Amino acid sequence: MIEIRWHGRGGQGGFTAARLLGMAAAQYDECYAQAFPSFGPERRGAPVLGFTRIDKSPIHDHSKVYECDYVVVLDESLLETIDVTQGIKPHGRLLINTTKKQKDFAKLGVSEIFTIDATAIALEILHQPITNTAMFGALVAISGIVSLEAAKISISLSMAPKLVEKNQMVVEKAYYLFKQGASL
């Protein structure tokens, strides 16, 4: 089973990204998936968590994800107040939205850290700092959990029609940045 924890702030779309990944895996890559949120104070800007589980077999565990293969951080400022590395498996990977390089996060003690300026991608294409689909595209690239096509289809089936094309562009841009090695 592959388990992913998404750290974000209310309004950044962390749970939407968790759901998109689950949808892509379940409907287009023939896996079983769960996606669910965990909210504290329900307000814009408050820290929120999203979780995704993916497996080739039915998933019977409905608890919060405690040990994860991937941790995705949509807002770098969360690193100041939350230990995002808690529960990451020894082979786990950490993906951070930041302008910094992965070496700047060596103190976190995670063997594989990936960084991407998802905010810049979102601002360029969406004209808003909503980083969820950029982080989704980056995760697809570094993990291979689902295909890029499955990711794009999940967007087309779950977002409002006026948002689909631009969010697919965001996913593609983030995906290809990693595939070309520009953000490693």
CATH of the domain at 158: 3.40.920.10
pLDDT digits (tens, 9 = 90+) for 116-133: 999 999 999 999 999 999
Give the residue from 49, 65, 45 showing the smallest Cα distance to 129: 45
Q: CA 20 to CA 138: how far, in whole Å?
A: 13
Please report whether residue 53 resides in a domain. yes
27-36, 56-65, 164-173: which has the highest mean pLDDT?
164-173
Instruction: Work out the average pLDDT over 41-61.
Output: 84
Per the CB < 8 A criterion, the answer to whether 92 and 72 are in contact is no
pLDDT, averaged across the chain: 90
pLDDT at 60 over 70: yes
Task: Kindly report, residue by residue over 76-118, the tens digit of the pLDDT.
Answer: 999 999 999 999 999 999 999 999 998 999 899 898 999 999 9
Note whether residue 62 is domain-resident.
Answer: yes
Q: Tell me whether residue 79 is in a domain.
A: yes
Indicate the pTM of the whole model.
0.92
Predicted pLDDT of residue 41: 55
Q: How confident is the model at residue 39 (pLDDT cuts 50, 70, 90)?
A: low
Domain-embedded: residue 27 = yes
Angstrom distance (rounded) from CA 184 to CA 182: 6
In the chain, the number of structural domains is 1
Average the pLDDT over 14-30 and give the result: 89
Question: Model confidence at 59, in pLDDT bands (50, 70, 90)?
Answer: very high
Calculate mean pLDDT across residues 16-28: 91
| 139 domain-assigned | yes
Interatomic CA distance for residues 113 and 38, integer angstroms: 24
The pair of structure tokens assigned to 129 is: 């700092």
What contacts 47, CB < 8 A, 6 or more positions away?
A: 7, 8, 9, 10, 40, 78, 81, 82
Q: What does DSSP say about strands 47-55 and 2-9: parallel, antiparallel, or unpaired?
A: antiparallel
Domain of 91 in residue numbering reads as: 2-179
56-59 CB contacts, 8 Å cutoff, 24+ apart: 56/30, 56/31, 56/32, 57/32, 58/32, 59/1, 59/32, 59/33, 59/34
Range 65-82 average pLDDT: 93
pLDDT in tens, 153-163: 999 999 999 99
In a domain, 166, yes or no: yes
Domain assignment present for residue 184? The answer is: no
